[in-house]
Amino acid sequence: MTQGTRTAIVTGGLSGMGLAIARRLIRDGVDVTIGARRGGDAGIVRDILGAEGIAAHVAALDVRSSQSVNGFVDEVVARRGGVDILINTAGVYSEAAVIDHPDEVWDDQIDTNLSGTFRMIRAVMPHMKAAGFGRIVNLASVAAHHGMANNAAYCASKAGLLGLGRCVSLEGAAHGITCVSISPTWVETEMLKSFIDADIETTGKSRDEVRADYAASNPQHQLVQPEEIAELAAFLVSDAGRAITMEDVQVNAGSLW
C-alpha cells in the first residue's frame, strides 16, 4: 500500500490526530502539506516538527476563510501539480447549553468544523476530478451519532460532516474520488489532556485517576491513541481503500460515546 509520490493536504496537522496522520503519510513517501492557523509562525512550526524531524511543508491556513483556503490549495497545486489526498482534521470545541447559547460559540464551531471542511473539499475536488483520483477523509466524532448535553454546536457540526460526506461521495464516485469519515471516541490528544488538567483542578484527583475516568467511558478501558487513527487513515487513502466511500468508521472502543 505504498503511496509513492502522492500529494496530501492535512488541515489542523500541527497537533493531535492531524499530526499523527501527517507523520504516518510521510512514512509512506507521501508529499504532505500541513495547513494550520499557526502554520505561518516559523518558530512554532520548528518547535513542533523540528524535534521529530518531520519533513512536511507547512503554511498558514484558516479554513473559515474561502480566500485562505483557495490560496493555500493553489500554492500546493502550483508546487505539486495537483492534490491526491485531503485529510480534514482542523476543528474547535467549546461547550454551551442551548438556553442562552452564545452566537459566537455556535458560529465558530459550525464555521470551522463543518463549513471549513466543505471549503477544503470544494477547493480540491476539481484537481482530483482532473486526475481521476482522490481520497478525502473527514474527522468526525462519535458526537456525530450521539448527543451530549451542553454540546449542541459541536454535535451538530460533526453530524453535518456525515451528510456532507455522502454528497461528496456520490459526486466523486465516477471520477475515482472517495470520501469517508472517521468518528473516534476519546483520543489522547492535547485537547483531552487539557480536559484532564481542568478536571484535576476542580476535583483534586490525581492525573492517573482522572485519566482512568476517561478511559472507563469505554468497555476496553483504554484511551484511543492518535497513531491508531493515523493507521486507519493511511489505509483509507491507499489503493486498498478504493471501494470504501460514503462510510463513517467509528473508532469507539466499544462505547456508545
All cell numbers assigned to 145 = 451519532
Are 241 and 235 within 8 A, CB to CB? Answer: yes
Query: Mind telling me the catalytic residues?
Result: 154
User: Could you tell me the three cell numbers for 3?
Assistant: 503511496
Per-residue burial over 231-254, b if 16 or more Cβ lie within 10 Å, else e, is ebbbebbbeebeebbbbbbbebbe
Minimal CA–CA distance to 27: which of 57, 56, 58? 56
| Long-range contacts, stretch 150-153, CB < 8 angstroms, 24+ apart | 150/95, 150/96, 150/97, 151/95, 152/96, 152/98, 152/101, 152/106, 153/94, 153/96, 153/101, 153/105, 153/106, 153/108, 153/109, 153/110
E strands along 56-193, which residues? 57-60, 85-88, 134-139, 177-184
3-class DSSP state of 93: coil
Residue 140: closest CA among 213, 9, 247: 247
Backbone angles phi, psi at 70, to 5 degrees: -65, -40
Would you give the end-to-end CA distance of the chain in angstroms?
32
